[in-house]
Amino acid sequence: MSRIAYVNGQYVPHSEGAVHIEDRGYQFADGVYEVFAIHHGKLIGVQGHMDRLGHSLSELRIDWPMKPGPFMVVVNEVVRRNHVKNGLVYIQVTRGVARRDHPFPADCVSSMVVTAKKMKPLDKVALSKGIGVITIPDIRWKRKDIKSVSLLPNCLGKQQAREAGAFEAWMIDDQGMVTEGTSTNAWIVTKDGELVTRDISSAILNGITRLAVLEAAKEAGVSFSERPFSEQEALEAKEAFITSSTSHVKAVTSINDNPVGNGHVGELTARLLDLYVDFIEAKGGPQHTDKWN
Ligand code: PDD
């Protein structure tokens, strides 16, 4: 069955979807995006993704392409037309098409593209197998809270990870602290048993999965700290994992080829994966989604 994409007002075969050569997303990476997980036919974290998209758009002064109501009708329609029960929906909004010139054009109409992709259903066994991460310098700009399509440093980092036989790269800031992965948030359980993920600021993207895991942990009485943690703490950690809409809660079992803890999925990591799945199935996503940097 052929895939369908939504491109600026039309549903078209995915292979025929195209944008203008002077779209500012193409020319300047002048746009933002969101990725929603679809889990057993349900979109996860809708409110969070919509709030974060609103934050990204307003920080860049890009207009919403349409009001949130019709916007969600389009998103759901793309999911429906592609028969996606498990997978993701990708939404990209750019400032629109204009003659190439750096300042914002006077009358730009935002462009909007929506695609959907089938993926294997969330598999707790596969997620618990564990992946390797490497550490690399964080060479990105200073507004990581904005989900910009300008992802070149992230692509370079992910490629470096793959060439090193790892799944993800954790980026290290100038103070030696871990910011996040190239497309995931980073978590550790320190050698003293403290569950830690970096606090919200313009140094990281506030992941919707991150928020869901924090809320699920809180409800279950699992204590945690939101604070920067150092590369050294990560190397000495008992457990580590990553979170994102597509990686869910994925165990990290090696950092720079050194085993994390005993080299197997950690106890708390496994518990948080269970709590996360129960949480999204019961609540659909995080309920507190108002803080973005
Ligand atoms: N990435 N940090 C970065 C830099 C990300 O790109 C992402 C998401 C996350 C996790 O956010 P969330 O939990 O809302 O998915 C953290 C998406 C999945 C991507 O670029 O494909």
235-245 pLDDT, tens digit per residue, is 999 999 999 99
Q: Are 244 and 147 contained in the same domain?
A: yes
How many domains does one find in the chain? 2
Element (H, E) at 136: strand 131-137
Between the CA of 244 and the centroid of ligand 1 the distance, in Å, is: 5
Q: Give the separation between CA 285 and CA 42, rounded to whole angstroms.
A: 10
Domain membership flag for residue 288: no
Residues 260 and 129 in one domain: yes
Same domain, 97 and 131: no
CA distance 173 to 195: 20
Ligand 1 centre distance from Cα of residue 3 (Å): 23
DSSP string, 256-276: TTEESTTSS--HHHHHHHHHH
Dist CA 111 CA 95 (whole Å): 6
Ligand 1 atom 19, closest CA: 183
**Owning domain of residue 249:** 124-283
Q: Which residues are catalytic?
A: 147
293 falls within a domain? no
> Does residue 225 share a domain with residue 130?
yes
Domain end point (choices 95, 118, 141): 118
Distance (Å, rounded) from C-alpha 195 to C-alpha 191? Answer: 10
Mean pLDDT value across residues 68-79: 97
Which tokens go with 259?
A: 């085993």
As given in the structure block, the two tokens for residue 280 are 């999204």
Q: What is the pLDDT of residues 74-119, one digit of tens each?
A: 999 999 999 999 999 999 999 999 999 999 999 999 999 999 999 9
Q: Is residue 40 part of a domain?
A: yes
Is residue 258 domain-shared with residue 227, that is, in the same domain?
yes
CATH number at residue 100: 3.30.470.10
Same domain, 261 and 245: yes
Residues with C-beta less than 6 Å from any ligand 1 atom:
35, 180, 183-185, 205, 207-210, 243-246
Ligand 1 atom closest to Cα of residue 180: 2
- Pair 184, 213: CB distance under 8 Å: no
148 and 87 share one domain: no
